[in-house]
Structure 1
Amino acid sequence: MKILKLLLGAAAIVCTINLAHAQAPETELLEEYASPGVRGMGKGKGIVIGYERVPQFDITSDAKDPRLQDGSGRVRRHNKFDVKLNAPILNKPQTKLIFGIDYKFEEFNFEDVTPAAYDLYEYLEDKNLQSIGAQVAYLHSIDNRRFYLVRLKGELNGDFTKDDINVDLFDYFKSTVDVAYGWKKSPDYAIGVALQFGYTFGRKSVYPAILYNRTYNDRWGVEAIFPANARVRYNVNDKTLLFAGYRLEGASYNLYVDEGPLSEFGEIELRRTDVKGVLRLEREIYDFLWFGVEGGFRQYYRNRIFDEVGSKDEILDNDLSGAGFVKFEIFVVPPRRFMEKNK
């Protein structure tokens, strides 16, 4: 489990590096100041809207507490929706301060859910498991070889409603701090190390990661934050990119169950871990507007319920069968006039 936690933490750091790259045009990377981006990487994403669907798969639940029973069922679909916005507060060649906000939710739809169905499945049916986050990232280039990055992020994660936010805001709040230090070996090669301190996957922990971005020629490159994310990039042309690789994803949600056997525990926590094999296409629609489509196989490694937030005491261990998935995105990137101006 310790190794798994390290993997998950590294996965969370991916968004920190990507957030910095969002405001580091590749034309600026080549000369004076170092940054995580390399030649050939896609343009930084300022606004992203995405939708993901996983179709039918089986679920079984193994009770770890005598007050609960085992259960089984079938999920008709698992939907995820997210919106992200990144914008520079300070955008100087050597120093960048970036503000980002995001909103996402996921929901499960089960087959044959009735009042007599398994308690957890009945509770999760059409329930929006939400996350609202805000972050600030500071990227500073020490010189043309070295850079460092600091990110602060706060999130509200759970099955909350508008009324809950007004009354119990801090019950859902979790914070993280990311720090990274890197070296720009050339315009085509950047490496670095990173640490995260926070509650991204439930209990407070420290997670390490290694950054490796490299472009080998005009067509091929690798973008990775080991061990949680790695993909091979193929540049078809300036308007089309192809990727193949894998990534780890995870989340934790605070749940307030007020009916059925689970209500005996009050506030509980759902933590999940997924491993994805991914094929992805990114294509320009018009100048600053792009779309992305990806698909592959999603293996649910862990999906567990704990008796309280941050606890080690597991009360349900859910086994979710692997399944294919598809995701669609539309996103806004810096327009060509902006990129040419930065030259």
Structure 2
Amino acid sequence: MKHKYPRFFLLSFFCLSFFVANAQEDEEDYSMYDNFELEDDAPIKRYAKPTISGMSPQKFIGISFDAQMPYRYEFSNVTFPESSGNGFDVDEENPTINETGTAKFTGGFRFNTNIPIISKSSFVWQSGINFMDTRYTISEAPNNPKDQPVILPDGTEARTLGRILNEDGLRNLNWTNTLFFPMNETEFIVFQGQMDLSGNYGFEDFQPLNTIRYSAAAVYGRRVNDYYRWGVGVARTYRVGNLNYVPVIMFDWTSENRKWGTEILFPARAYLRYNFSKNALLLAGFDLEGQSYHIDEYSVNGNSYEIRRGEVRPKLEFQAKITGYIWASVQAGYRWDWSYDADELDSSRDFFRGFFGNQEFGMINTLENPLFFNVGLNFVSP
């Protein structure tokens, strides 16, 4: 069956591009009033700008295709809490391996938006719908019990995780809102909230909405000058797969000749930037990607069985202007598996394990670390 959603997102891309372009054309050029003097010498309130000079252009709308090179994997038995209440029976130090094989292909289509809803000197609100479709081509080892089903707690049979990934894939749909509040000419506060629906669902067969996972971040910052700003904050995040609370550090800097710079919002991402010209640049650094993916087939008794997928992506990214506000991007890097283990969430309610919690997992899974590539087309800010 052919999927129709790529056509939908392509149509959305061009429609949103037309909308944003027209909105920008209709904006009044307030720079004409820079030298205007009020008769009564009333003070003018000035606010910190949301960017600094030389940064990579902000992506309003983007489409890309992501692909990982082949890699080996090992999946443990799918386990559920014992009826005695003693937790899972998986041995985390030496788990029983149920599936081994090769993922010949992992990747797929990505669609990202970050549209200005309100853009004033005293307040900026940006909102975006983002979609990431990850498909797998799984080749299991010859000695795998590929057709041997997983036995659920009620005695019914289910597919192995390798077959679920091969046949369904994983997808993530999220809605992100970013609010920028400048307090004066140097100080500002940024809030970001995100809702994610992640799992092996299809659009004709959505998963329960009580599996939506919520993320948020708040950062206090100072825009020191046109070339430097910093900030500190805290985030509630799923970028390492399971729920975590982490400090946030912002450090954006551009050299006075506008050739070198940094774009850092740690731990989500950190880049060193080199500007070849105003129309081409290179980023070197990493992204931290992750989310908690609901596996519908293993979610029984009102619980949610979820793959805690988290990965670090060291990479090089080249961005260049094609025409007008259309830029192309090419990425190449290394996908390092942070987590692919699984949890069962009681009544779909999540819990906090953090980096040091000792709560048991329902599966212990390992992935080898391959190279990855990503090519994209973006409609960017002026």
**TM-score, L = length of structure 1:** 0.79
C-alpha contact (below 8 Å) 2:240/2:311 kept by paired residues? no
Task: Give, in angstroms, the shift of residue 224 of structure 1.
Answer: 1.0
1:192 partnered with 2:235: no
Distance in 2 (CA, whole Å) between partners of 1:200 and 1:246 is 13
Partner of 2:170: 129
Aligned counterpart, 1:323: 370
Deviations along 1:158-180, one digit per CA (max 9) or x if unpaired, are 12233543xx5423212222211
One of 139, 142, 151 as aligned partner of 1:111:
139
Q: Pick from 203, 211, 214 the counterpart of residue 175 of structure 1.
A: 214
1:83 equivalent in structure 2: 111
Which residue matches 1:13? none
1:276 to 313, 334, 341: 313
The one of 181, 203, 210 aligned to 2:249: 210
Cα gap change, 1:273/1:135 in structure 2, threshold over 3 Å: closer, same or farther? Answer: closer
Conserved? CA contact 1:48–1:84, under 8 Å: yes
* Residue in structure 1 matched with residue 62 of structure 2 by the alignment: 48
Shift of 1:140: 1.5
Q: Say if 1:119 and 1:55 are closer, same or farther in 2 by CA, change over 3 A.
A: same
Tell me the distance in 1 between the aligned counterparts of 2:323 and 2:163: 44
Q: Which deviates further from its counterpart, 36-45 or 60-69? A: 60-69
- Name which of 83, 93, 96 aligns with 2:124: 96
Query: Which residue is 1:286 aligned to?
Result: 323
CA distance in 1 between counterparts of 2:50 and 2:310 reads 27
Distance, in Å, in 2 between the alignment partners of 1:138 and 1:227 is: 20
Match of 1:157 in 2: 198
TM-aligned CA deviation for residue 222 of structure 1? 1.0
| Root-mean-square deviation (Å) | 2.8
Counterpart CA distance in 1 for 2:276 and 2:223 is: 25
The question of whether the paired residues in 2 share the 8 Å contact of 1:197 and 1:204 is answered with yes
Give the count of matched residue pairs. 303
Structure (1 or 2) with the greater strand fraction:
1
Q: 1:134 to 1:266 in 2, by over 3 A?
A: closer
Gap change, CA 1:264 and 1:93, over 3 Å in 2: closer
Contact conserved, 1:73 with 1:110, CA < 8 A, in 2?
yes
In the alignment, the residues of structure 2 paired with residue 189 and residue 59 of structure 1 have an alpha-carbon distance, to the nearest angstrom, of: 43
Q: Select the residue among 282, 287, 296 that pairs with 2:333.
A: 296
Q: Alignment identity in percent?
A: 22
Q: Deviations over 1:205-260 (max 9, x none)?
A: 432111000012321111112344221101001111111112222221111116xx
Structure label with greater radius of gyration: 2
Contact 1:174–1:200 (Cα < 8 Å) also in 2: no
Residue of structure 2 in register with 1:57 after alignment: 71
In the alignment, residue 228 of structure 2 is paired with which amino acid?
Answer: Y
Letter in 2 for 1:319: T
Alignment correspondent of 1:223: 263
For structure 1, list consecutive stretches of 5 or more residues without a partner in the other structure: 1-22
Q: Which residue of 1 aligns with 2:278?
A: 238
Distance, in Å, in 2 between the alignment partners of 1:271 and 1:66 is 18
Give distance in 2, aligned partners of 1:263 and 1:178: 32
Whole-Å separation in 2 of the counterparts to 1:94 and 1:139: 9
Are the aligned partners of 1:265 and 1:307 in contact in 2 as well (CA < 8 Å)?
A: no
**Structure number with higher relative contact order (C-alpha < 8 Å, ≥ 6 residues apart):** 1
Note if contact 2:239-2:289 (Cα within 8 Å) is conserved in structure 1: no
SS at match of 1:126: helix
Could you tell me how far 1:201 is from its partner in structure 2?
A: 5.4
